[in-house]
Structure 1
Amino acid sequence: MTRSPTRARRSVWTVVVPVITAIAGLLFATSAVTARGTDLRGADVGLPALIRDQASAVDRGTRANAALREEVRAMEAALPESAELARLRREQAELEKAGGMTAVAGPAVRVSLDDAGLTADSLPEGVSVDDVVVHQQDVQAVVNALWVAGAEAMTIQDQRVISTSAVRCVGNTLILGGRVYSPPFVITAIGDTRALQAGLDADPAVALYRSYVDRLGLGYQVEHLDVEFGGYTGTVDLDHARPARSATTTPPRGRRVPRPPPAAPLRPPA
């Protein structure tokens, strides 16, 4: 006995319709659980929101750190004087000075880097948006040139730079110490101003940036002045450090390990 076409179509839809209904119900339930009563379309997600959240966390941590430092100072002041305590305080003072934890003042060179201020519509032919903004490597070039030239202390955006400081580029903004900064980016270094200026003038990476200054109008301003820096107040723990691998360690077969960029690290002299 042959099945009529109408009855065959009915039997197929009898199976398909419940399946589609079940899938739709599952999707609605998943969306409701994910949203948790909020508007998914209007939710503030992504890297900008994450950066703002982390910046707020850094501010809270900074305030808590300052309060704890005050408690430690009060406890130290209450300790009875002894030769051992005096020795430990001298060692602490030496370590804090070497680590950039104490205030310092003196003649300085201040370098300001800024975007060219051109829009996508006003770019010259053959020039991209990346060519008219300040990048991480531009800030690093100035910082490293100043260290090499003998800088004794440094700040970026008024934050004290120490051996664990690092600048990271996110679009045309920089993240330093968990805070986000927009241009202009200001680097100030205490030291022999003539030597610092000569170091900037002779550095090839800074010279490359200055060529874009002349060609496209990027900002580059150098000032000589007297300044005072406060001590570094952040953490000095290496929360994300890992032991270095042996020089003989080779990557697994079939994997290509990218070569790191040639930029020197942001690190003051020992």
Structure 2
Amino acid sequence: MTGAHAGGTTGRRPEARNRSRAWRVGTPAVVLLCGALLAVSATNSEGSDLRPGRYTDLAGLVEGEASDYRKVEARYQELSDQVDRLSAGVGDKSVRDARREIAKLRDPAGMTPRTGPGLKITLSDAPEELLDDAVERNKHLDPDEQLNLNRFVVHQQDIQALVNALWRGGASAVTIAGQRVISTTGIRCKGPVVQLQGEPFPQPYVIEAVGDAGELYASVASDPIVAGYRKDADNPLIEMGWDLELEDRIEAPAYDGLVDLQYARPLR
């Protein structure tokens, strides 16, 4: 009996005693820790949501997107109204008159090809050996007796003077190196080449014009700048390249470059 009673009272397994002690100690510790965290959270938030940004940012994003959409929608409506107005006017008299005027101006503006008799003129720099001789000769001459070395190369003013003379002679089309010349064509020197509408072309420069050959030649012969160039072509010390031919058929292609005008804008 004694043995049985002692076993029933003091015979609890060690692990059961440890588990009971852990609950008695751990539970109050967890409660205290949770209370501390709640106190810190309340202090930092001052009664507000600790992460309100995720809601306010989303609301701002939605409002911004809605505003952008309203702007796009307004621009779309504006363009749609403009298209409707333009479409409604396609068949009226003013549009037809404008189209007829455009068709009438395409040819003189250089937008259609031209073929016919005319002149072919080739300009080229002086031979290099003559330029070298002039450089050597100038070393032994006074400055007022020296040859101007600029006279040994073709310049943009030489080409421009020749083209203008051809226009005055009644040319219906002019080309330089096969490129159609129009009223906005730019000709400029850049180093050893001449730029035509921004594209560089080396010498020799072939200029062709469609028109009455006799009138074209008379206009070229009477131009003072061209006359000065031809004088250098006849000078045995310079011998600028000059070749003029009367052609039965000159082909001038339509101009295919940009036609919009570009100009400087004042700073504001």
- CA distance in 2 between counterparts of 1:202 and 1:179 reads 30
Partner of 1:4: none
Equivalent AA in structure 2 for residue 228 of structure 1: E
The answer on 1:196 being equivalent to 2:207 is no
Shift of 1:176: 0.6
Decide whether the 8 Å contact of 1:134 with 1:172 is kept in 2.
no
Partner of 2:82: none
Distance change >3 Å, CA 88–CA 144, structure 1 → 2: closer
- CA distance in 1 between counterparts of 2:256 and 2:192 reads 26
Distance change >3 Å, CA 153–CA 241, structure 1 → 2: farther
The answer on 1:239 being equivalent to 2:262 is yes
The answer on 1:164 being equivalent to 2:187 is no
- CA distance in 1 between counterparts of 2:99 and 2:171 reads 27
Distance change >3 Å, CA 242–CA 163, structure 1 → 2: farther
Partner of 1:254: none
Give a deviation string over 1:110-137, Cα, whole Å, max 9, x none: 1110001224532254224322111111
Partner of 1:223: 245
Shift of 1:241: 5.0
Decide whether the 8 Å contact of 1:153 with 1:190 is kept in 2.
yes
Shift of 1:102: 0.6
TM-score calculated relative to the size of structure 2: 0.56
The answer on 1:98 being equivalent to 2:108 is yes
Partner of 2:45: none
Over aligned residue pairs, what C-alpha RMSD do you find? 2.3
> Can you give the 5+ residue segments of structure 1 that lack an aligned partner in the other structure?
1-80, 244-270
Partner of 1:144: 164
- 1:174-185 alignment, distance < 5 Å: 174-185=194-205
Structure showing the higher helix proportion among its residues: 2
TM-score calculated relative to the size of structure 1: 0.55
Partner of 1:32: none
Tell me the percent identity. 43
Equivalent residue of 2:154, what SS? coil
- CA distance in 2 between counterparts of 1:91 and 1:114 reads 40
Shift of 1:194: 0.1
> Can you give the 5+ residue segments of structure 2 that lack an aligned partner in the other structure?
1-89, 139-145
Equivalent AA in structure 1 for residue 122 of structure 2: S
Distance change >3 Å, CA 228–CA 121, structure 1 → 2: closer
- CA distance in 1 between counterparts of 2:253 and 2:113 reads 4
- CA distance in 2 between counterparts of 1:241 and 1:227 reads 37
- CA distance in 2 between counterparts of 1:157 and 1:242 reads 33
Shift of 1:149: 1.4
Equivalent residue of 1:239, what SS? coil
Equivalent residue of 1:91, what SS? helix
Shift of 1:140: 1.1
- CA distance in 2 between counterparts of 1:92 and 1:212 reads 44
1:110 to 99, 102, 120: 120
Structure ID, larger Rg: 2
Partner of 1:122: 133
Distance change >3 Å, CA 242–CA 165, structure 1 → 2: farther
